[in-house]
Structure formats: C-alpha cells, structure tokens
Amino acid sequence: MWRGERETSTIACYSKLDPYVNLLRGGNSAFAAVLGGADWLTVLPHDVLTGTSASSIRYARNIQLVLKEETHIDQVLDPAGGSYFIESLTAELISKAWEKFLAIEENGGYQSFLQSGELSKLYAERQKEMASGKKTLIGTNVYAELIDTNLTDASSVTVSKRLAEPFEHLRARTPEQLPKAVLLNFGALKDYKPRADFVSGFLAVGGIEAQWSPSFDSIDQALSWIKEEQPHYAVICASAAATEEVVTNFLKEDAGDVVLDVAGKYPKELSDQWLANGLNGFMFAGQDKIAKLQDIANITIGGHPVE
C-alpha cells in the first residue's frame, strides 16, 4: 500500500449537538486512518466547533495515545492485512472511486464538475438521507438529548456543509419559543409505548419535550385531559389495530385549538379522510424530520405564534 503523508479529520461529521459523541467519531476516524496507512494524523477536540478547552485538547491527544498504547497498532506493518471484511470494502471503495474519477475527467475535469452542480446534488442526497434517518448522527438526528446546547460558532476551522447543521438550526429555538407538545396515549402501555417512544425521540431531535398523557380508555378522558393541560400540539399514540377507531372518533369531537397529529402511516384514502376532518398530519419512520419539525416549531394558535 502506498503510504503518503496525509491528515484526517471527521469534522465534517462533527456536531454541536451532544458533542461528546464527537469523541467516538474522532476515535473511529483515527483508527481508520492508521488502518489505511496514514503516516500522520490529527484528531480534533470534540468541542472544536464551539470553542475548545484544555481538557478537550487533552482528550483529543489521548485518543491517539490510547490507540497506540492499548492496541499496539503502531507495531504492525499492515494491521488490516488478511481481513476479508476490510479488504473487500477497500476494493469496492477503490473501484467505485476510480469510476467516479474517470467520469469526472471525461466530463471536463474538476472545475467542470463543480460548475455542473453535481457536487451540490450529491450533498443534497446525503442530507436527504440524514433527514429521513437512513443515515444517522447519534445525538443529532437520533437519540437527541434535551439539554442546554451550546450552538456558538467559535471554531477556528473552516467547515462547509456539515451534515449536522440543519438539525442544529432546529435546536436554535428556546423551549419558550416552541409549542407545548403532548402525547395522547390510548390503551394499555404495551399497546402505545412503541409509538410513544418513537414520537418522543422524533420531537427531541427538534428540541421539543413531549409530555405523556395517562393511558386513556375513551375519547372523553382524552378531551378532559387536554382541556386541563392546554397543549398547543398533540400526537395520538395507539396500537395499529386501535388507531383507526380512535382517530376517527376523536376528530368528531371539539378538541379546541390543539393541532393534532397521529403516529403511523396509513392508506391514502383513510389519510385523506382524516385530513379533511381536521387532522394536521402524521409522524412516521422515514419521514423528512427537518421539514416536519420545522412545521411543528412554527405552529400558530388562532393565527398567532405560540407564546
């Protein structure tokens, strides 16, 4: 393997949200760089985007030291040698990369490729995968923590088109600027919990903390609770078997100004019927999280922003 002097960094995948996950990203990148034959590398601190500290710089330095002292990877000429898994993936990467290089050259070279907009198109496709959850950034578009987040841009490193940026923009609003959200849970815990967990995680990506209702046995119980809690936004969570009846009956009642969604994806005819009867929308896996969360964050009550 040719061994050139090259530097590696995962800062394009770094996030200001749950930044300690960046320690894992940096560690994985460093390990991959050594396996790939890098002669030298740089691991950036986990908080490089918002301002480093003496501790974060020490953590970044120790990532390299841990790899050296604990794995002895520096004592082996080719640590990945003989690994079918790594070598097959490397061969596939080389083959596809070479095809891409040839295609770029045949179409006028690097500058022509940039001017064609193809690079922006590839980035848009990757961002779409992030928004739908097909690709994940732990702590950013999945498993988000509802804690105070430092979104200050204090990085001395220039980074363009980070994948986490759209999700960081979602989290820029304060809790006071976001609608009060609740989950309307129907049936036994085992019936609604899978969907309630999903919805809670979905909303957390946008910085929205959802309050769980008690377990309801009837629509009247839910309406009484809504009147007491006065939420701006609610999501119905019930088993797949019970959801159609629950939603259909709920939409027949007057729930006030609350904006109502339902967890799950349903046949078009049924969905259109619910939407025509006042349902706001749906929340389901594979949905564009960024677009949906922006819509929720922009909810207005009676034509006025949430206060």
| Span 76-89, pLDDT tens digits | 888 888 888 888 98
pTM of the model: 0.87
> Confidence class of residue 303 from pLDDT cuts 50, 70 and 90?
very low
List CB contacts of 293: < 8 A, sequence separation 6 or more: 170, 202, 203, 205, 206, 208
In angstroms, the CA 97 to CA 237 distance is: 45
In angstroms, the CA 93 to CA 104 distance is: 16
Residue 106: pLDDT over 60:
yes
Could you report the per-residue pLDDT of 136-169, keeping only the tens digit for each? 999 999 999 998 888 888 777 777 788 999 999 9
**Which amino acid type is present at position 240?**
A
Could you report the per-residue pLDDT of 23-69, keeping only the tens digit for each? 999 999 999 888 888 888 889 999 999 999 999 999 999 999 999 89
Beta bridge partners of 78: none
